[in-house]
């Protein structure tokens, strides 16, 4: 318990954020906005990890390190994703995810 | 004990000739093939005569009866513990007699063919198949067991098929050969079933066991099986079906007239003298068993009698000389069957059996002679139709003389061969059944009538307009005619009762003049009517045929039996069985398979829409799946 | 090392040789040399087998070799032969030898063609020598798969459709077989102990009846699909019609025999109890098949279809005889497989050669071929006569053995089936003669056919090999029949133990 | 209401509201800006939890780095005045149902669960501890992931350069 804020609050918040991200990922057509939704999802997970770490297992720093790595991976992912998006834009002159269905049957 | 094992060469020589000539084919000059074939058959002829001499006159009798001995026997195929197919040589009076008949006629036909077939394209092929036929026919008569007989029976059928279809470019010949093979094949199915039943019941194929005095066929399978007849009766009937097919008995006779499409020597050899009597020979071979199954034997008699009359009626109306002869053959074979059917077993009771064999023997000579004579006529005028002939006696003196002898022989005028054998048959039938006797008596008269109708139409009357003057055939053709004419004249004096009898015991008979004289009388009546109607071309015959009306037309059209068969095969078997099956296969069975494939295809077509390439749809499915699983494992499926 | 391994090694070496060959001729000659060695080996095997038997070696399986393949599941590479397998190996060697010559004029991708063909043969050889169910199934698949390529690439007509249909149906059969084999495996030690795929071992245990009843239909239908069991035969007409000559030969001649052999060796031999119980169902199907195939053939116009339906009829007779389950009928079944194998290979070879010359397979468009190609025509007539069961050719021996064997059953049902099946010989005669009459006899319908040439040396090679096979068996069947019987005796003893006594 | 509670609620309100705006805004540049607010509030959360170092990293890396990267790419690929089209209704409904269902499921589960909460440790994590943790190979040491991440970053760098490079052809 941390001064009146139980862990449930954090978890509910992160869940809400997570599913907002999911919603965004499902409805947005623009690849960059989808990328942004993914950032939301990642952040919600980070909050989760940190809250667990601080409130349930304060002896070690596992949650923190994981968050750290997540941020690193997110950075890598964002840079690669944007490189891909730009590449796609060069080829198709738009970045609408619905137009990218080369992989269908 | 005399060693008869050399008799296997009677079989092997024609086989070797067949293989050699068949493989070398056209590499030799045709005539070389012909000479090889003829020489081979000549040797076979000599061997047969030698065997007959040794068998009948040198070999000791046992208890006054001729022995039945296995000259050679080896196993060809094991079937079950008890049943095995052997190939070997069985010598007994009828097989030795048949050896003589076949080798003589075959040899004569070979010589004749050297002249008749000269210049034909398939000369080598012809002689090659002729050797195959001789091999098969000889193998058939010396068979030691019923399965060997069946084997050679089939081979005989196929050589007949090949020879009928010799002029393979002629559609009618092809059709006739097909018909002959399929009809006899159908009959052979009966034969096969008969063999299966017989062999299962008795546990053997072997003739000596089957027809010996302690035959298992007399004891087993006597219980009622089906339609009030015993197993053994049924098996005999099935076997008789095979015989009836080969011997052109009604209603399996339809192939024989058409078989005349083959070259004339073939008709003489196969479709007059040898192969078609195989059925008679078969019944004679199995006679002790038939004798134990009276109802089967009765059927044999009636089928024989009816065919005989039926064919004689048709023969009176035909114009194609070979067809007349073909129906005449049917009629005579019917007589032989009839004689077997009315015969008893042993001693004088076996008169019918003896008469049948006797008639078979004499018939071979005069019928072969008739066919070969017809061949000489056709050779001279290039036509088969008697209304395109006339006055030929001036041009073909030898043919004319020999033909006349044959006609007299078949009509049963003494002292020619036919008189003696036919008389015995009539006696045997008279003592058995009066209705059958009346039929046989009528047939005797009709035989004389139609033969002389043929004779007068061809050799007397006015000359027709021939393309070129008819001339006598070459010596290769006339010599066989003369030899056979001698046979037809004197064969009747052979004492058959001493040689070939049902139980191999010689017995004595006297000519029953009470039957012989009326028989000769009715033959003379027949000849008389023919003389009146046909010696000079007159309109009377036409008037009579018109007066007979529908009956004449029906007889002229062979009582429409062919049409019935055509209906059954073409309409029913082809259109109502085969065609629906082909349709069923393509559309139902195969259709079902295709439908399965089609359904799979359609289903996959529908399902593949799920893989749309739309990332967000995948994601939606993924999320829903995760939620679903989470729901499942956290709330619904918790234990 | 067992002598038998050579039967697999030689085809593999041949394939390697073909891989390194440069020209068409080299490819063909490599194939010919490889398959000639195979044919000689088959001859040597028959000789060695008969010699061993004559020397009093009464072991059930000769030349056996057992190697562990995968220990955890007790899978072995177990090979060996008895009289039946030796006969089947002889058949395969003859047909593949003739097949190589029959495909002499394949010009598209010959290397790949011969590779697939010989792989197929290797699979078949392996199938006949293996005695471990797993090995058996492996070789079965090796034999079936190249078929798709062979038909799909080198076929004619609607070849993709046919290849797909054939492969899918056979794979369906394979799936059933695999289920059946697994069923056998898991029931192979009912009293506890190690499970095994060993065919001989399994035959010695008695599998519980419920399991037998359950798995018998899988195995019988599975192998039956390949053996053209009645409602599952439809791959055969299309497949054969589209396949190139040598493939039709091998397929109808040998591959379909895998079905019959499997039914005998696996289904009936290992599950005799269920076989006795359920035989009647399949007997009805096969009896229908015999007649149905024959009647179906009458109405066809394409030579290959005619022969395919005739194969359906003849192969149904094989299964028919297997189901009769007595020594004579079984012997007949094996003889019929061999006889039909050679005969139908001959037919397909001839059809291929005729098609290569006339460019049509519709009998109505041909006629009078006897005149322009006497060799092929005579060979066709010989094949036809053999097919309709003329004495002197192998078909007669086989059919008669089957009919006599089937007739040893004393009840009405079996008798009626036998008589119906026997009547097929008449129908067979009808369609054979119809083809011979239309195709070879009569007048030449198309003037272009006047310039057709007769068989070339390689055609003759192929045809003569097969005709020698047919006549050799037909003239002197005793040694073959006795050799087969020799293999059948122990098999039949076990089958008899499981069922009602039949004599 | 304690300060902590207040701060928490404030940050959560910002996070939720701007998250929603991020995923619904039709102007893409605005969406990016809203994302920036969300990220900044998240770092506030980190501060609240006494992870100062992380919060700093969040601010510099996320807010400073990634968002800028995103904005650049937006400027490269879209017109400044372009409005995104409204997604089809069915799509929105399905997505909303999935998201709501998931959210409800999770939240219900969370609320039903009793956590064993420890006494709050208000000390900040010392940078030294973090450094030691990163380089330690013992238990609770993260040398290996650290190395892996460094390689990953290098790979991502090279990869994105190669991907984004203009092809010559």
Alpha carbons within 13 A on the beta-carbon side of B503: 16
Question: Between residues 12 and 51 of chain A, which touch chain D (CB distance below 8 Å)?
Answer: 12-13, 15-24, 26-30, 32-33, 35-37, 39-40, 43, 46-47, 50-51
More confident residue, C177 or B25: C177
Stretch B134-145: mean pLDDT, rounded? 89
Query: From the CA of B616, how many Å to the nearest CA of chain A?
Result: 5
Residue A1 falls inside a structural domain: no
CB contact, 8 Å: A67 with chain D?
yes
pLDDT tens digits for range B164-188: 888 888 888 888 888 888 888 888 8
**C231/B186 Cβ within 8 A:** no
Q: Are residues D3 and D76 in the same domain?
A: yes
CB contact, 8 Å: D152 with chain A?
yes
pTM of the entire structure? Answer: 0.81
pLDDT tens digits for range B87-138: 888 888 888 888 888 888 888 888 888 888 887 788 888 888 888 889 999 8
Tell how strand B84-91 and strand B224-226 pair up: unpaired
Query: From the CA of B434, how many Å to the nearest CA of chain C?
Result: 38
Question: Read out DSSP for B570-614?
Answer: IIIIIIIIIHHHHHHIIIIIHHHHHHHHHHHHHHHHHHGGG--S-
pLDDT of residue D36: 92
Ramachandran class of C63: left when φ > 0, alpha when ψ lies in -120 to 50, beta otherwise: left
- Checking if the pLDDT of C503 tops 50, the result is no
List all residues 6 or more positions away from C340 whose beta carbon is below 8 Å from its beta carbon. Answer: C253, C257, C311, C314, C315, C318, C395, C398
**B616/A26 Cβ within 8 A:** yes
pLDDT of residue A21: 93
Provide the token pair at D43: 């770092």
Provide the token pair at C348: 């397909």
Based on the structure, what is the number of domains in chain D? Answer: 2
User: Among partner residues B608, B616, B620, which is closest to A97 by beta-carbon distance?
Assistant: B616
Interface test mutation site (partner A, options D16, D156, D169, max chain A beta carbons within 10 A) = D156
Question: Between residues 298 and 327 of chain B, which touch chain D (CB distance below 8 Å)?
Answer: none
**B623/A101 Cβ within 8 A:** no
Of all residues in chain B, the one with the smallest CA distance to D98 is: B624
Name which of A25-29, C215-219, C358-362 the model is least confident about: C358-362
User: Among partner residues A26, A100, A102, which is closest to B619 by beta-carbon distance?
Assistant: A26
Chains D and C touch (3+ CB pairs under 8 A): no
CB contact, 8 Å: B634 with chain D?
yes
Please, are residues D99 and A23 in contact by the beta-carbon 8 Å criterion?
A: yes
> DSSP class of residue C360?
-
User: pLDDT class for A1, splitting at 50, 70, 90?
Assistant: very low
- Checking if the pLDDT of D17 tops 90, the result is yes
User: Among partner residues D39, D95, D166, which is closest to A27 by beta-carbon distance?
Assistant: D95
pLDDT of residue B625: 92
Residue A20 falls inside a structural domain: yes
Based on the structure, what is the number of domains in chain A? Answer: 1
Task: Residue D28: list chain A partners with CB under 8 A.
Answer: 30, 32-33
Sign of the dihedral through C-alpha B148, B150, B153, B154: negative
Residue A2 falls inside a structural domain: no
Question: Read out DSSP for C34-69?
Answer: HHHHHHHHHHHHHHHHHHHHHTT---SSEEEEEEEE
pLDDT tens digits for range C363-388: 888 877 887 888 888 888 888 888 88
Stretch B73-77: mean pLDDT, rounded? 85
- Checking if the pLDDT of C502 tops 50, the result is no
What is the rounded end-to-end Cα distance, in angstroms, of chain C? 42
More confident residue, C384 or B394: C384
Stretch B347-375: mean pLDDT, rounded? 85
Please, are residues B237 and B194 in contact by the beta-carbon 8 Å criterion?
A: yes
Percent of chain B with pLDDT over 90: 1
pLDDT tens digits for range B613-622: 788 888 888 9
Range of the domain at D27: 1-84
**C442/B174 Cβ within 8 A:** yes
Range of the domain at A78: 7-99
Peptide bond into B251 cis (omega under 30): yes
Question: Between residues 603 and 632 of chain B, which touch chain D (CB distance below 8 Å)?
Answer: 616, 620, 623-624, 626-627, 630-631
User: Among partner residues B613, B620, B623, which is closest to A102 by beta-carbon distance?
Assistant: B613
pLDDT of residue A37: 92
Distance (Å, whole) CA B582 – CA B591:
12
Query: From the CA of A34, how many Å to the nearest CA of chain B?
Result: 10
Element (H, E) at B115: helix B93-116
- Checking if the pLDDT of B408 tops 80, the result is yes
CATH (domain of D57): 1.20.120.1200
CB contact, 8 Å: B638 with chain D?
no
> DSSP class of residue C75?
E
Query: From the CA of C383, how many Å to the nearest CA of chain B?
Result: 13
Interface test mutation site (partner A, options B616, B618, B620, B625, max chain A beta carbons within 10 A) = B616
**B616/A100 Cβ within 8 A:** no
Chain B residues within 8 angstroms (CB to CB) of chain A: 608, 611-616, 619-620, 623
Name which of B246-255, B284-293, B554-563, B602-611 the model is least confident about: B554-563
Query: From the CA of D88, how many Å to the nearest CA of chain B?
Result: 13
Residue D141 falls inside a structural domain: yes
pLDDT of residue C499: 63
pLDDT of residue B538: 67
3-state secondary structure of C78: strand
- Checking if the pLDDT of B496 tops 80, the result is no
ipTM over 0.85: no
Tell me, rounded to whole angstroms, the distance of Cα D112 from its chain centroid: 27
Distance (Å, whole) CA B138 – CA B274:
10
Place of tokens 């109890």: C273
Provide the token pair at C237: 């007409």
User: Among partner residues D77, D118, D119, which is closest to A86 by beta-carbon distance?
Assistant: D77
pLDDT tens digits for range B457-474: 888 777 777 667 777 778
Stretch C444-453: mean pLDDT, rounded? 77
Phi and psi dihedrals of B169, rounded to 5?
-85, -10
pLDDT of residue D168: 65
For chains B and D, CB pairs below 8 A equal 18
Q: What is the mean pLDDT of chain B?
A: 83
Interface test mutation site (partner D, options A29, A43, A46, A89, max chain D beta carbons within 10 A) = A43
Task: Residue B611: list chain A partners with CB under 8 A.
Answer: 103-105
Task: Residue C368: list chain B partners with CB under 8 A.
Answer: 168-169
Residue A46 falls inside a structural domain: yes
CATH (domain of A59): 1.10.287.3510
Residue D107 falls inside a structural domain: no
Residue D109 falls inside a structural domain: no
Sign of the dihedral through C-alpha B83, B85, B89, B94: positive
Provide the token pair at B65: 């009866």
pLDDT of residue C500: 56
**B616/D91 Cβ within 8 A:** yes
What dihedral do alpha carbons C112, C117, C123, C126 form, nearest 10°?
A: -120
Count CB atoms within 10 A of the CB of residue B368.
Answer: 30
Question: Between residues 50 and 79 of chain D, which touch chain A (CB distance below 8 Å)?
Answer: 50-51, 54, 57-58, 61-62, 65-66, 69-70, 73-74, 76-78
- Best CA proximity match to D74, nearest among A98, A28, A100: A28
pLDDT of residue D38: 92
Q: What is the mean pLDDT of chain C?
A: 85
What chains are in contact with B, requiring at least 3 Cβ pairs below 8 Å? A, C, D
Query: From the CA of C476, how many Å to the nearest CA of chain B?
Result: 7
**A22/B612 Cβ within 8 A:** no
- Checking if the pLDDT of D88 tops 80, the result is yes
**A76/D156 Cβ within 8 A:** yes
More confident residue, B499 or B622: B622
**A69/D125 Cβ within 8 A:** no
Q: Are residues D5 and D65 in the same domain?
A: yes
Distance (Å, whole) CA C311 – CA B92:
43
Interface test mutation site (partner D, options B623, B632, B635, max chain D beta carbons within 10 A) = B623
Distance (Å, whole) CA B377 – CA B373:
6
- Checking if the pLDDT of C52 tops 70, the result is yes
Stretch B201-227: mean pLDDT, rounded? 76
Residue D111 falls inside a structural domain: no
Question: Read out DSSP for C236-255?
Answer: HHHHHHHS-HHHHHHIIIII
Interface test mutation site (partner A, options B614, B618, B625, B630, max chain A beta carbons within 10 A) = B614
User: pLDDT class for B359, splitting at 50, 70, 90?
Assistant: confident
Stretch D29-36: mean pLDDT, rounded? 90
Name which of B1-10, B542-551, C7-16, C160-169 the model is least confident about: B542-551
Please, are residues D152 and A72 in contact by the beta-carbon 8 Å criterion?
A: yes
Task: Residue A62: list chain D partners with CB under 8 A.
Answer: 140
Distance (Å, whole) CA C439 – CA C445:
10
**B574/C298 Cβ within 8 A:** yes
Interface test mutation site (partner D, options B617, B626, B627, B638, max chain D beta carbons within 10 A) = B627
**B630/D94 Cβ within 8 A:** no
Distance (Å, whole) CA D159 – CA D165:
10
């Amino acid at each position: 318990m941390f001064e009146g804020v139980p862990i449930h609050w954090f978890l509910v918040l992160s869940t809400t954020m997570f599913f907002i991200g999911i919603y965004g990922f499902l409805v947005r057509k623009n690849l960059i906005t989808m990328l942004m939704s993914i950032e939301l999802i990642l952040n919600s997970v980070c909050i989760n990890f940190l809250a667990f770490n601080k409130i349930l297992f304060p002896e070690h720093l596992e949650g923190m390190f994981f968050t750290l790595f997540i941020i690193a991976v997110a950075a890598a992912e964002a840079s690669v994703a944007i490189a891909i998006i730009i590449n796609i834009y060069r080829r198709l002159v738009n970045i609408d995810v619905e137009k990218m269905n080369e992989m269908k049957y | 004990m005399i060693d008869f094992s050399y008799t296997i060469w009677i079989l092997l020589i024609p086989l070797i000739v067949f293989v050699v000539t068949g493989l070398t084919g056209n590499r030799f000059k045709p005539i070389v093939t012909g000479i090889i074939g003829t020489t081979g058959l000549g040797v076979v002829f000599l061997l047969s005569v030698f065997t007959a001499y040794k068998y009948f006159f040198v070999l000791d009798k046992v208890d006054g009866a001729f022995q039945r001995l296995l000259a050679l026997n080896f196993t060809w195929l094991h079937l079950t513990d008890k049943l095995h197919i052997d190939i070997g040589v069985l010598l007994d009076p009828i097989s030795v007699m048949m050896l003589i008949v076949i080798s003589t006629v075959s040899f004569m036909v070979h010589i004749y063919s050297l002249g008749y077939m000269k210049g034909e394209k398939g000369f080598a092929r012809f002689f090659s198949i002729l050797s195959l036929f001789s091999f098969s026919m000889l193998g058939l008569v010396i068979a030691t067991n019923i399965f060997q007989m069946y084997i050679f029976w089939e081979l005989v059928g196929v050589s007949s098929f090949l020879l009928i279809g010799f002029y393979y470019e002629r559609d009618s010949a092809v059709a006739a050969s097909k018909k002959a093979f399929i009809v006899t094949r159908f009959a052979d199915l009966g034969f096969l079933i008969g063999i299966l039943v017989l062999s299962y019941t008795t546990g053997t194929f072997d003739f000596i066991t089957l027809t010996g005095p302690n035959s298992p066929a007399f004891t087993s399978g006597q219980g009622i099986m089906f339609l009030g007849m015993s197993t053994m009766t049924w098996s005999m009937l099935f076997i008789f079906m095979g015989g009836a097919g080969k011997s052109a008995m009604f209603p399996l006779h339809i192939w024989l007239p058409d078989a005349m499409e083959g070259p004339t020597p073939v008709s003489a050899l196969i479709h007059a003298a040898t192969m078609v009597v195989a059925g008679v020979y078969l019944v004679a071979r199995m006679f002790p068993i038939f004798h134990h199954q009276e109802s089967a034997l009765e059927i044999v008699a009636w089928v024989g009698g009816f065919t005989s009359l039926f064919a004689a009626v048709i023969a009176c109306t035909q114009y194609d000389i070979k067809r007349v002869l073909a129906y005449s053959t049917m009629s005579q074979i019917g007589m032989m069957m009839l004689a077997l059917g009315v015969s008893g077993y042993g001693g004088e009771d076996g008169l019918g059996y003896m008469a049948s064999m006797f008639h078979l023997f004499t018939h071979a000579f005069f019928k072969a002679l008739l066919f070969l004579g017809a061949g000489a006529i056709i050779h001279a005028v290039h036509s088969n139709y008697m209304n395109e002939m006339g006055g030929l006696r001036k041009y073909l003196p030898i043919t004319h003389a020999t033909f006349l002898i044959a006609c007299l022989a078949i009509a049963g005028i003494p002292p020619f061969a036919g008189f003696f054998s036919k008389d015995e048959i009539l006696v045997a039938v008279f003592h058995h059944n009066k209705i059958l006797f009346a039929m046989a008596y009528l047939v005797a008269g009709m035989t004389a009538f139609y033969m002389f109708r043929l004779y007068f139409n061809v050799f007397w009357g006015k000359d027709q307009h021939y393309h070129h003057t008819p001339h006598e055939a070459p010596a290769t053709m006339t010599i066989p005619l003369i030899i056979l004419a001698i046979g037809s004249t004197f064969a009747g004096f052979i004492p058959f009762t001493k040689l070939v009898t049902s139980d191999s015991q010689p017995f004595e008979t006297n000519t029953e003049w009470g039957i012989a004289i009326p028989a000769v009388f009715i033959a003379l009546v027949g000849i008389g009517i023919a003389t009146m109607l046909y010696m000079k071309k007159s309109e009377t015959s036409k008037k009579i045929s018109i007066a007979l009306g529908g009956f004449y037309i029906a007889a002229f059209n062979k009582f429409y039996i062919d049409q019935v068969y055509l209906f059954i095969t073409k309409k029913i078997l082809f259109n109502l069985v085969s065609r629906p099956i082909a349709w069923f296969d393509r559309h139902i069975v195969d259709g079902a398979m295709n439908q399965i494939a089609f359904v799979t295809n359609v289903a996959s077509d529908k399902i593949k829409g799920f893989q749309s390439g739309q990332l967000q749809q995948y994601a939606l499915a993924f999320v829903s799946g995760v939620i679903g699983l989470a729901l499942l494992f956290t709330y619904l499926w918790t234990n | 090392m067992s002598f038998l391994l050579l039967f697999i090694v030689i085809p593999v070496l041949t394939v390697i040789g073909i891989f390194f060959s440069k020209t068409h001729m080299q490819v063909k000659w490599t194939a010919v040399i490889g398959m000639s060695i195979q044919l000689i080996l088959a001859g040597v095997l028959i000789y060695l087998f008969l010699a061993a038997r004559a020397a009093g070696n009464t072991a059930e399986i000769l030349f056996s070799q057992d190697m562990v393949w995968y220990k955890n599941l007790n899978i072995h590479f177990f090979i060996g032969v008895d009289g039946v397998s030796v006969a089947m190996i002889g058949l395969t060697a003859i047909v593949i030898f003739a097949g190589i010559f029959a495909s002499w004029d394949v010009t598209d991708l010959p290397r790949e063609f011969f590779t697939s063909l010989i792989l197929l043969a290797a699979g078949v050889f392996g199938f006949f020598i293996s005695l471990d169910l797993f090995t058996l199934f492996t070789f079965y698949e090796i034999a079936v798969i190249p078929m798709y390529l062979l038909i799909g690439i080198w076929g004619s007509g609607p070849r993709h459709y046919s290849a797909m249909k054939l492969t899918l149906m056979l794979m369906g059969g394979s799936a059933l077989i695999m289920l059946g084999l697994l069923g056998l495996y898991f029931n192979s030690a009912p009293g506890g102990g190690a499970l095994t795929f060993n065919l001989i071992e399994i035959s010695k245990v008695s599998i519980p009846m419920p399991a037998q009843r359950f798995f018998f239909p899988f195995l019988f239908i599975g192998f039956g699909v390949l053996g053209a069991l009645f409602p599952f035969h439809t791959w055969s007409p299309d497949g054969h019609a589209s396949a190139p000559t040598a493939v039709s030969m091998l397929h109808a001649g040998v591959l379909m025999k895998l079905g019959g052999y499997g039914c005998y060796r696996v289904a009936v031999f290992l599950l005799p109890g269920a076989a006795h119980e359920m035989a009647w169902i399949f007997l009805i199907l096969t009896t229908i098949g015999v007649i149905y195939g024959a009647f179906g053939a009458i109405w066809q116009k394409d030579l290959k279809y005619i022969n395919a339906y005739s194969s359906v009829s003849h192969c149904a007779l094989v299964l028919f005889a297997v189901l009769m389950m007595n020594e004579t009928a079984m012997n007949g079944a094996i003889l019929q497989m061999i006889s039909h194998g050679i005969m139908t290979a001959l037919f397909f070879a001839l059809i291929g050669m005729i098609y290569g010359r006339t460019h049509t397979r519709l009998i109505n468009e041909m006629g009078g071929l006897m005149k322009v190609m006497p060799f092929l025509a005579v060979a066709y007539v010989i094949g036809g006569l053999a097919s309709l069961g003329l004495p002197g050719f192998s078909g007669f021996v086989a059919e008669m053995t089957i009919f006599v064997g089937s007739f040893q059953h004393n009840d009405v049902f079996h008798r009626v089936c036998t008589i119906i099946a026997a009547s097929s010989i008449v129908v067979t005669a009808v369609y054979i003669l119809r083809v011979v009459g239309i195709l070879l006899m009569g007048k030449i319908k198309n003037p272009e056919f006047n310039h057709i040439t007769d068989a070339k040396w390689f055609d003759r090679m192929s045809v003569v090999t097969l005709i020698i096979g047919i006549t050799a068996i037909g003239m002197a069947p005793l040694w073959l029949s006795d050799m087969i019987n020799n293999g059948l005796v122990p098999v039949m003893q076990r089958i008899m133990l499981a069922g009602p006594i039949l004599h | 209401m304690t300060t902590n509670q207040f701060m928490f609620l404030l940050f959560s309100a910002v996070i939720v509201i701007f998250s929603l705006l991020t995923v619904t805004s039709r102007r893409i540049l605005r969406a990016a800006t809203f994302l920036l607010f969300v990220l900044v509030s998240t770092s506030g959360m980190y501060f609240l939890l006494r992870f100062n170092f992380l919060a700093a990293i969040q601010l510099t890396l996320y807010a400073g780095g990634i968002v800028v990267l995103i904005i650049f790419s937006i400027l490269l690929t879209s017109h400044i005045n372009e409005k995104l089209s409204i997604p089809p209704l069915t799509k929105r409904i399905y997505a909303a149902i999935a998201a709501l269902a998931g959210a409800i499921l999770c939240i219900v589960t969370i609320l039903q669960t009793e956590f064993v909460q420890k006494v709050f440790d208000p000390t900040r994590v010392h940078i030294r501890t973090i450094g030691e943790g990163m380089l330690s190979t013992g238990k609770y040491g993260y040398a290996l992931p650290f190395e892996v991440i460094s390689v990953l970053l290098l790979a991502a760098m090279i990869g994105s350069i190669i991907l984004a490079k203009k092809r010559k052809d």
